[in-house]
Amino acid sequence: MPITLKELADYCNARIAGGDASALIHSAADIKCAQAGQVTQLTNSKYAHHIKNSSATACFIAESFAVEKIPETLALLVCADPEMSFIKAVELLHPARVYKNQIAPQAVFENNVKLGNDIYIGPYAVIGENASIGDLSQILAGVYIGRNVKIGKYCRIHPYAVIYDDVEIGNHVIIHSGAIIGADGFGYKFRNDRHVKVPQVGNVIIEDHVEVGANTCIDRGALGSTRIGVGSKIDNLVQIGHNNQIGKNVIMCGLTGVSGSCTIEDYAILAGSSGIADHVKIGSGAVVMARSGVAGDIQAGMQVFGSPAKDKKTAYKEQIAISKLPELLKTVKMLEERIRKLEIDD
């Protein structure tokens, strides 16, 4: 349902500059392709040139962001935080799918399941013995929830996510399809020519406001818990081994692996395809750059790169040095020759 520019500006706490306040906005789009009837945002000067010829009807922009030669048809929506205002606009114009309060007849409940109010449970979901699901949570089709699992309020678990027995999930948690929470950690002792399985009898605790990406795996603790702290966000295809302690507001990007018994402190960022060896501590706010492999503790706030990972500046210096290395080999050969000559002359 389209709304007027004025309505949108009011809703998003923005001031209209230019354009037509009664123009209708039906959707949001990227500044590179926004058309008439669409609202966009401009927050990065790198993309500022796109505004000149934009057909968009409106564009969120910060007070301080200078632009010139704006099309007459384009209204600026001037505001304090255009990124947040744009998020509000997107949510208004593209409302999320609503799952109504309903238990699908094809869902299976084992004994003693405890369901909160206003819950959606999709077809073919399987809810194990003694599991509990909080108010307003949505368990989509085919989700498997093991025995004794606790799921808080306002959660959404997407189709075919699997929650093994004993896992505890807080409130406002999103788990995407194919994520496997609480499978056995990878632990064996080698005896008599075979790998003897170390029992994995702990669990996983996922705190509030965590999002877990598609096909990500978070293993249960061998003993005790693997823990994901409040507000941490985990991308797709991430492997989190047993007994890791992930702090608050940590970011873990796609294809990253954390072996086991690591501590990843608050606000740390593990970029794509990075890896952490076992028993390592990543300090608060540290950044492990893409594809880096960390084998020892990283101090708070450090940025590291490479495999083995080093302080970013050191790693970059080494990279530059390596690029000069083939030339250096030649140089040294020539120096040797010059020394030889000097020695003969000597």
Of 2, 13, 91, 296, which one interacts with a copy of itself (CB under 8 A)?
Answer: 91
DSSP secondary structure of 245-272: EE-TT-EE-TT-EE-SS-EE-TT-EE-T
Which segment (1-9, 29-37, 60-68, 112-120) binds a copy of itself by CB under 8 A? 29-37
Nearer to a copy of itself, 21 or 130 (CB): 130
The verdict on 326 binding a copy of itself (CB under 8 A) reads: yes
Helix (H) or strand (E) run with residue 5 in it: helix 5-11
Can you say whether the dihedral through the CA atoms of 103, 104, 105, 107 is positive or negative? negative
Of residues 135-194, which lie at the interface with a copy of itself (CB under 8 A)?
140-142, 144, 147, 158-160, 162, 164-165, 174, 176-178, 180, 183-184, 186, 188-191, 193-194
Starting at the earlier edge strand, list the strands of the sheet with 281-282: 114-115, 132-133, 150-151, 168-169, 203-206, 225-228, 245-246, 263-264, 281-282
Of 85, 137, 244, 259, which one interacts with a copy of itself (CB under 8 A)?
Answer: 259
The verdict on 106 binding a copy of itself (CB under 8 A) reads: yes
Of residues 40-69, which lie at the interface with a copy of itself (CB under 8 A)?
none
Which segment (5-13, 50-58, 69-77, 316-324) binds a copy of itself by CB under 8 A? 316-324
Residue 319, classed as helix, strand or coil, is helix
Of residues 189-248, which lie at the interface with a copy of itself (CB under 8 A)?
189-191, 193-199, 201, 209, 211, 213-215, 217, 219, 223-224, 231, 233, 235-237, 239, 241, 243
Nearer to a copy of itself, 20 or 184 (CB): 184
Active site residue 176: no
Of 17, 115, 255, 300, which one interacts with a copy of itself (CB under 8 A)?
Answer: 255
The verdict on 331 binding a copy of itself (CB under 8 A) reads: yes
Q: Report the relative pairing of strands 211-212 and 233-234 from DSSP bridges.
A: parallel
- State the Cα–Cα distance between residues 205 and 208, nearest whole angstrom: 10
The catalytic residue among 158, 172, 209, 242 is 242
* Closest alpha carbon to 284 in 296, 308, 302: 302
Which segment (13-21, 22-30, 57-65, 70-78) binds a copy of itself by CB under 8 A? 22-30
* Closest alpha carbon to 231 in 220, 247, 215, 218: 247
- State the Cα–Cα distance between residues 125 and 103, nearest whole angstrom: 10
